[in-house]
């Protein structure tokens, strides 16, 4: 008799994971006591006033069913920024420029290609993310995928050189993302730039070492990959033709420079004008796609078709983003978000100054996976953090940095962050495999952030 093969566990499709999380959040609105912070006439949170509601305000599964469209609509701005930026990148990819430049580099560098190309791509994306600070950075993931295929490494490595550094740069960037909490804490905009730039590089180097170590292991033996199947091996790029005499693809280099220049212009616009950034991204990436496509040797019809394909390819990704937005809406309508924040922040009042500063980081680190939006967290938490830090004698700059570091690293595993789930979808990496890969550096980063906050508070850093 043939022995029945033991069925191994298979991670459910991302669609079912997201729906399962939504159902779980709906059920939590029946369990977690409903409550709200007090608010003044202008709607500002009063951290000293919190009231539990007389009854639960649960979001039933039927209510949840009717909320899905609202979540998709609420994510509209993010969705279109992601779609247009991805369509722009699709045009760049279809010119063949990135493939040609990577091919040329791997051939010329031969065995040293990994040592040179991995740090270059990693730090390029790290700095772009640090200064651009936008969901549009999901567009760099296809570059990482192509990079991995050419170097014959797995999809986790693709995320390691693209999404991973973009998350570090986004979380520790010293410019745009800092302005929101600094403004709410009455700090000079962009103050503390030097220290934050230093921290960006320190954390970036640690992340690179982890990524590089994993890539070398996979290159040495593909069985060292954490992917639970070998389908990715069938998609690797294999060159059978001798191209050792290949000339530098000058047109492709120009296209690559134009692609990077887009992000430089984007950062410059944000820093100079600070108005309608999302509106600018959509229009700018549309025009940029047409220009780069034509420079890359495509005719007008090819550019248009490539742009349309880029939009279509992101349909499921942006649907997942909409579901992630719905998850946050459920917590707000179920009146459990304020309760969660209140329950976690109360113990901080009984701690000394240095430990409280670390505690702020820890609290936001715990909340962050469920409320990944920096704007939403700032609106809910800064009014609580400000009087807390004033009472404990913690400088507002320390409070700001504690908030920013807590708002950084757990984004990497947040099922409520469309950017994270979208990146995994693009790279075809199951959520459980990604967790297994990223959990160690993420926890290390969280621990490092505690040390940083302790040191900055001890030396009396004001960033001014």
**Could you tell me the mean pLDDT of each successive run of 10 residues in the chain, 464 residues long?**
48 74 89 85 71 90 88 77 80 80 70 79 83 66 83 89 90 74 74 88 96 91 82 67 66 86 78 71 88 92 92 78 78 84 72 80 83 63 69 83 89 80 87 93 96 92 80
Domain-wise residue ranges, the chain: 70-458
Torsion sign over Cα 79, 80, 84, 85: negative
Name the residue with tokens 């998350």. Answer: 167
Q: How many CB atoms lie within 10 A of CB 12?
A: 14
Question: Do 139 and 419 contact (CB within 8 A), yes or no?
Answer: no
CA dihedral 47, 332, 323, 443 (to 10 degrees): 30
Tell me if 330 sits within 8 A of 59, measured CB to CB.
yes
244 Cβ contact partners less than 8 Å away, ≥ 6 residues apart: 107
Query: How much is the pLDDT for 39?
Result: 75
Asked if residues 368 and 414 have their Cβ atoms less than 8 Å apart, the reply is yes
Q: How high is the pLDDT of residue 1?
A: 44
Give the pLDDT of residue 5.
45
83 closest CA partner among 241, 289, 347: 289
Report field, pTM of the whole predicted structure over 0.75: no
User: What is the pLDDT at residue 291?
Assistant: 94
Tokens of 345: 């922040």
C-beta separation of 448 from 357 below 8 A: no
* Nearby residues of 279 by Cβ (< 8 Å), 6 or more positions away: none
Residue 49 host element (H or E): strand 45-52
Q: Residue 45: beta bridge partners?
A: 39
pLDDT at residue 4, rounded to an integer: 46
**What separation in angstroms does the CA of 280 have from each of 85, 138, 173, 277, 287?**
11, 17, 20, 5, 11
Distance CA(391)–CA(380), nearest Å, equals: 19
């Amino acid at each position: 008799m043939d022995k029945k093969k033991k069925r191994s566990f298979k991670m459910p499709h991302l669609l079912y994971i997201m729906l399962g999380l939504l159902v779980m959040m709906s059920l939590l609105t029946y369990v977690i006591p409903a409550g709200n912070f007090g608010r003044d006439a202008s709607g500002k949170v009063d951290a000293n006033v919190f009231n539990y509601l007389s009854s639960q305000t649960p979001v039933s599964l039927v209510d949840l069913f009717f909320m899905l469209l609202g979540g998709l609509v609420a994510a509209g701005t993010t969705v279109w920024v992601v779609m247009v930026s991805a369509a722009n990148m699709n045009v760049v990819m279809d010119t063949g420029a990135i493939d040609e430049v990577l091919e040329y580099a791997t051939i010329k560098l031969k065995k040293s290609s990994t040592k040179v190309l991995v740090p270059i791509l990693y730090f390029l994306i790290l700095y772009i993310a640090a200064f651009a600070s936008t969901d549009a950075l999901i567009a760099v993931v296809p570059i990482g995928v192509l990079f991995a295929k050419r170097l014959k490494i797995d999809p986790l490595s693709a995320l390691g050189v693209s999404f991973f550094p973009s998350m570090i740069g986004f979380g520790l960037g010293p410019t745009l993302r800092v302005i929101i909490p600094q403004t709410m804490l009455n700090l000079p905009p962009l103050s503390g730039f030097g220290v934050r730039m230093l921290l960006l590089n320190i954390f970036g180097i640690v992340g690179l070492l982890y990524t590089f170590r994993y890539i070398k292991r996979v290159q040495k033996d593909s069985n060292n990959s954490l992917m639970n199947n070998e389908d990715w091996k069938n998609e690797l790029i294999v060159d059978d033709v001798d191209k050792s005499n290949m000339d530098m693809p000058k047109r492709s280099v120009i296209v690559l420079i134009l692609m990077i220049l887009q992000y430089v212009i984007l950062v410059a616009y944000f820093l100079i004008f600070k108005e309608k950034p999302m509106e600018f991204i959509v229009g700018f990436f549309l025009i940029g796609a047409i220009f780069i496509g034509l420079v890359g040797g495509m005719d007008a019809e090819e550019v248009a078709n490539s742009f349309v394909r880029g939009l279509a390819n992101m349909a499921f990704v942006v649907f997942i983003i909409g579901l992630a937005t719905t998850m946050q809406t459920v917590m707000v309508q179920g009146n459990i978000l304020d309760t969660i924040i209140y329950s976690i922040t109360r113990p901080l009042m009984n701690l000394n100054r240095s430990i409280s500063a670390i505690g702020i980081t820890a609290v936001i680190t715990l909340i962050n996976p469920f409320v990944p939006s920096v704007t939403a967290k700032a609106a809910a938490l800064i009014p609580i953090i400000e009087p807390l830090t004033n009472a404990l004698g913690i400088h507002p700059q320390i409070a700001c940095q504690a908030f920013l570091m807590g708002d950084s690293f757990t984004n990497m595993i947040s099922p409520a962050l469309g950017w994270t789930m979208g990146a995994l979808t693009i790279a075809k990496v199951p959520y459980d495999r990604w967790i297994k890969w990223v959990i160690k550096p993420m926890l290390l980063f969280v621990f490092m952030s505690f040390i940083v906050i302790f040191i900055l508070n001890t030396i009396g850093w004001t960033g001014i």
